[in-house]
Amino acid sequence: MSDTATTDTAMSELLTTSPDFVDIGAERTHELDRRHVFHSWSAQASLDPMVITRAEGSHIWDGAGNRLLDFTSQLVFTNLGHQHPRIVAAIQEQAAHLCTVAPQHANAARSEAARLISTHTPGDLDRVFFTNGGADANEHAVRMARLHTGRPKVLSTYRSYHGGTQLAINMTGDPRRWANDQGSTGTVHFFGPFLYRSPFHATTSEEECERALEHLAQVIALEGPSTIAAVVLESIPGTAGIMVPPAGYLSGVRELCDRHGIMLVADEVMSGFGRAGRWFACELDGVVPDLLTFAKGVNSGYVPLGGVAMSEAVAATFADRAYPGGLTYSGHPLACAAAVATIRTMEDDRVVEHAAALGDEVFRPGLEALLEDHAWIGEVRGTGAFWAIELVSDRETREPLAPYGGSSPQMAAIIAGCKRRGMLPFANFNRIHLVPPLTTSADEVREAIAVLGEALAEAAAAS
């Protein structure tokens, strides 16, 4: 037997017999969680987290053994579904070969991940700075924009989420900002386009586009163009409501930025890597940003990874001048190996094309039919595998079924009804988002839409 074969055998025995593999059962998991784990964005006392014991493809299993269709992709990151064998194998092989190296050294997994990402990012965004997730990607993109332009301010929209670190949460528009808002970090908010709840009293998407651009032009003029380093936009705002911008909006923002020497940062943390039926959602309007941030779908979230792809001009700023920033785990080999496997699988299996077809052929007709049948649905919108259902108590007034920043008994009943029927939806305020893995089948999407219809009917009858 060769040395390599001996090592391989030892490794596979180690993987199957490790005394540290944790299998303590659902009940003990829950008990220890409640005693020792501090959860995100929550008052801790009343939490009752669902234990997930197993997952495969588009399904998860809860602590009681129930199988649920995962139409959350967790936090919209398992773009290739759960336990994809190719990603799991890449992580295992990388772990067996070389678990970790410091960021100053070059590493094959990181180099190849950066090359693959660069083949799909638009325009000349061919250089990648790796981070651990989306918030720090946005932090670094803004730091780069500030140093590149020599200007302090950053503009972002109210209906947005850019992450939980200090600058990212101040750029965020949604209510998670309120308790963290220091108000002095150079972030300025404006209104992006959202025809259903138009801040501009528009009645058509053309009007919404024109007025939203006019509004941004005024904000830029009144803030002082020479003080603005960047406009940071989710190409499609995600958690804030999946508002696909009207045609011409992103390119109009690009034009405004060019006119004033402002960097355009596209936050593609949620909308990127196929979610919108394109590799990146900014492609929908043919826009090349100066900086593009990503995380989540880059490696299906199997190991934490995010990053900033930058233009040649931004990269050139730091050719002879040190970039003042870094992370211990920038471009971690395990995370990058997972990215390589994810991107190659997306290419080989035509996953982005599948997501686009799911959107056009299954989600759109299915959800539009649901809209006909349920008075609580005010609007359905989305693209690819990225859909929102806007729920209202009154279609005329468009009164949300739960207040902005809050929940309601009706929303709780709909979510519970979905779960009871075997489908986990992503819920935010008065919205249900259907955001499954991009590998979900057409039949699974039809099943989820049927479940949502039943849950809506049940909740409406009970209210």
Q: Does 161 bind ligand PLP (CB under 6 A)?
A: yes
Q: Which of 104-112, 134-142, 322-330, 402-410 is the region at the interface with ligand PLP (rule: CB under 6 A)? A: 134-142
DSSP assignment, residue 200? T
* Cβ distance to ligand PLP smaller for residue 132 or 430: 132
Nearer to ligand PLP, 270 or 309 (CB): 270
User: Among 81, 163, 245, 425, which residue interacts with ligand PLP (rule: CB under 6 A)?
Assistant: 163
For ligand PLP, the binding residues in 22-81 under the rule CB under 6 A are 75
The whole-angstrom separation of Cα 115 and Cα 330 is 16
Q: How far apart are CA 343 and CA 87, in angstroms?
A: 10
Among positions 116, 135, 212, 427, the unique one binding ligand PLP when judged by CB under 6 A:
135
Q: Are 373 and 112 in contact (CB under 8 A)?
A: no
* Cβ proximity of 136 and 154 under 8 Å: no
Per-residue tokens: 12 = 């596979």
How many other CB atoms are found less than 10 A from the CB of residue 361?
12
Q: Is 295 in the site for ligand PLP (CB under 6 A)?
A: yes
What tokens does 167 get? 């600058």
Q: Which residue has 């990648």 as its token pair?
A: 128
Nearer to ligand PLP, 270 or 288 (CB): 270
Q: Is 133 in the site for ligand PLP (CB under 6 A)?
A: yes
Nearer to ligand PLP by C-beta: 279 or 376? 279
Shorter beta-carbon distance to ligand PLP: residue 295 or 451: 295
- Give least dist CB 60 to ligand PLP, A: 19
Helix, strand or coil, per DSSP, at residue 431? strand
Q: How far apart are CA 129 and CA 108, in angstroms?
A: 15
CB 269 within 8 A of CB 140: no
Of the candidate residues 173, 192, 238, 331, the single one contacting ligand PLP (CB under 6 A): 238
**Smallest gap, in angstroms, from Cβ of residue 308 to ligand PLP?**
12
Site for ligand PLP in 177-236 (CB under 6 A): 234
In the bound state, the residue with its beta carbon closest to ligand PLP is: 134
Measured distance CA(344)–CA(44) in Å, rounded? 40
Give the residue with the Cβ less far from ligand PLP, 277 or 366: 277
CA distances from 414 to 385, 394, 408, 448 (A): 21, 17, 10, 13
Phi, psi of 375 (to 5 degrees): -65, -25
Q: Which is nearer to ligand PLP, 168 or 459 (CB)?
A: 168
Query: What is the nearest approach in angstroms of ligand PLP to the Cβ of residue 385?
Result: 15
Following DSSP, what letter does each residue of 89-156 receive, concatenated?
HHHHHHHHH-----TTS--HHHHHHHHHHHHHSSTT--EEEEESSHHHHHHHHHHHHHHHHT--EEEE
Read off φ and ψ for residue 335, nearest 5 degrees.
-70, -40
- If one asks whether residue 274 binds ligand PLP (CB under 6 A), the answer comes out as no
Q: Could you say which of 155, 202, 262, 270 contacts ligand PLP (CB under 6 A)?
A: 270
Q: Does 139 bind ligand PLP (CB under 6 A)?
A: no
Interface residue with ligand PLP, options 58, 78, 170, 239 (CB under 6 A): 239
State the maximum Cα–Cα separation within the chain, in Å, rounded to a whole number: 76
Task: Quote the CA–CA distance of 336 and 90 in Å, as a whole number.
Answer: 9
Single out the segment in contact with ligand PLP by CB under 6 A; choices: 47-55, 130-138, 257-265, 355-363. 130-138
Residues 303-322 that bind ligand PLP (CB under 6 A): 306
CB of 386 to ligand PLP, least distance (A): 11
For residue 12, count other CB atoms closer than 10 A to its CB.
12
- Tell me the C-alpha distance between 446 and 38, whole Å: 36
Nearer to ligand PLP, 174 or 444 (CB): 174
| Minimum distance from residue 168 beta carbon to ligand PLP (Å) | 7
Cβ of residue 24: shortest distance to ligand PLP, in angstroms?
A: 27
In the bound state with ligand PLP, the residue whose beta carbon lies nearer, of 270 and 451, is 270
CB of 42 to ligand PLP, least distance (A): 15
Cα–Cα distance for residue pair 54/286, rounded to 1 Å: 40
What are the residues binding ligand PLP (CB under 6 A)?
A: 75, 133-135, 138, 161-163, 234, 238-239, 267, 269-270, 295, 306
